[in-house]
Structure 1
Amino acid sequence: MQMADALLSTQALEAYYGDFQALFGISIDVFPGEVIAIIGANGAGKTTLMRSITGLIRNQPDMVLWNGEAIGSRRADQVAAAGIAMVPEGRQLFQSLSVEENLIIGGQMGRKGPWSLEKVFELFPILKERRNVPSTALSGGQQQMVAIGRALMSNPQILLFDEISLGLAPIIIKSIYEALPNIIGEGMSAIIVEQDIAKALSVSSRVYCLQEGRISLEGRPETLNRDDISAAYFGV
């Protein structure tokens, strides 16, 4: 595939927190309908990359391309309106609102697409049962389902999952990963940031490993061996 075919690209992306540089020349591509995984140790720059793509960290315009258009300097709301949604680390639900109200907020962009309140309830039936419950009364796994549902309600073309399984029980992680095919099956692309390397490899078509703000490894899961991944992950 050529670069022109990419849905989303970053080009020599750099990111800063004040004077501290967190990303150094990151170039990735995501093609339509593709799932890519971003792996790496804590502090490797994974969340910074997600924040840069979604406009939470502003960059030079041409460092992030969306359908070939430079969007690196756009505000987060403008990026979301263009069709990029993120399930943030820590869920970040509106604590004073119910499950249903949190989901409805996700649909405020007014983008057309397959996802509606009922479609989200079909994906996660427990949320329909608890639709009127405050988000603070939910388990961690249920909160993650709400965060995913809220992002889907914006009918994005690409969905970014930042630390999708962090802090969740294994049985909940399993159920969320089992739901992924139904999400991606709608023709959506996805970027999954994940600490669990095996999980990341199992659902992705390509993998990028970050180490200290740089890409240390990239490739297809079937072509990468454990030693290569270990060296790229830990720098040994």
Structure 2
Amino acid sequence: MRDFPLKTGSNAGQNTLLDIRNLDAHYGDFQALYGLSLRVQAGEVVSVIGANGAGKTTLMRSVSGLMRNQAEQVVWKGREIGALRADQIAALGIALVPEGRLLFASLSVEENLIIGGQMKRKGPWTLQRLYRLFPILQERRNVPATALSGGQQQMVAIGRALMSNPELLLMDEISLGLAPVIIKSIYEALPSITGEGLAAVIVEQDIAKALAVSSRVYCLQEGRVSLEGASSEVPRDAISRAYFGV
């Protein structure tokens, strides 16, 4: 099943980076998450699956500070961060690749990437390394970012997040709407991204890909965790029940 094997750091399973504790999230009067709990260890790749409306993007927005929550509901390396702003959370080492990419249309590819490094966090990711990972971005570095194809824009969004040199990378629906050949190329790049111990949470509707790239999987249904387990061990019929509620 693991077509795209990813390495986890040697300390995976020992040190908790992210600890989400009974998280509730609301859009006005509408409640999107109900007492959701989830953990990510250092160096671990976790996948989050679920149908449309299950709460996956709300979870990513809550962790990254785009939605403010109770401070104690999101804990980063022992610190309660649920009420912090998005820029404060990014400075701590959490980077989001948002659904829809959300690139700056008035800026070039390279300018979008440079913005990702404004936190000045130390780490391995530089423009040169990103260009080695995604050579097409170097070729088109002076082109407006939103003039690129959808797949190339996704590479820019991933690169922008990596330029902040995060400890945890949140990737929300990275394959949504992309051609299969582009999806394959992006997933083939993931081992190079996570190979040095970078932890990641990958939100994905493609169950097979989600299981292939992660050590553990969470399935969400109607804002709740309906299943959790080791990606290589969870039975597919159990996933189907958790995913579709049947």
Q: What's the TM-score, normalizing by structure 1?
A: 0.98
Q: CA RMSD in A?
A: 1.4
Alignment-mate amino acid for residue 227 of structure 2: L
Cα distance in 2 for partners of 1:5, 1:139 equals: 39
Identity percentage of aligned residues: 72
Task: Could you list the structure 1 runs, at least 4 aligned residues long, displaced by more than 3 angstroms after superposition.
Answer: none
**CA displacement at 1:19 relative to structure 2:** 1.1
Q: 1:165 to 1:234 in 2, by over 3 A?
A: same
Pair 1:78-2:88 in alignment: yes
Unaligned runs of 5+ in 1: none
Whole-Å separation in 1 of the counterparts to 2:15 and 2:43: 12
Residue matched to 1:39 = 49
Equivalent residue in structure 2 for 1:53, among 40, 48, 63: 63
Deviation string 1:99-128 (CA, Å, 9 cap, x unpaired) is 000000000011010001111101100000
Q: Any residues of structure 2 matched to 1:1-236 within 5 Å, and which?
A: 5-236=15-246
C-alpha separation in 2, matches of 1:100 and 1:62: 37
Matched residue pairs, number?
Answer: 236
Q: Does the Cα contact within 8 Å between 1:16 and 1:23 map onto a contact in 2?
A: yes
Find the aligned partners of 1:120 and 1:165 in 2 and give their Cα distance: 19
Q: Which moved more, 1:218-227 or 1:29-38?
A: 218-227
Deviations 1:68-102 (A, max 9, x none): 10000000000000000000000000011100000
Higher relative contact order (CA 8 A, sep 6+): 2
Q: Secondary structure at the match of 2:117?
A: helix
Deviations 1:150-184 (CA, angstroms, capped at 9, x unpaired): 00000000000000100000000000000000000
Residue pair 2:20, 2:74 contacting (<8 A) in 1 also: yes
Distance in 1, matches of 2:109 and 2:170, equals 21
Larger proportion of helix: 1
Cα pair 2:35 2:224 within 8 Å, conserved? yes
Q: Shift in Å at residue 5 of structure 1?
A: 2.6
SS of residue matched to 1:108: coil
User: In the alignment, is the contact (CA less than 8 A) between 2:64 and 2:89 conserved in 1?
Assistant: yes
SS of 1:100's equivalent? helix
Structure 1 partner of 2:4: none
Separation in structure 1 between the aligned mates of residue 230 and residue 48 of structure 2, nearest angstrom: 12
Segments of structure 2 that go 5 or more residues without pairing to the other structure are 1-10
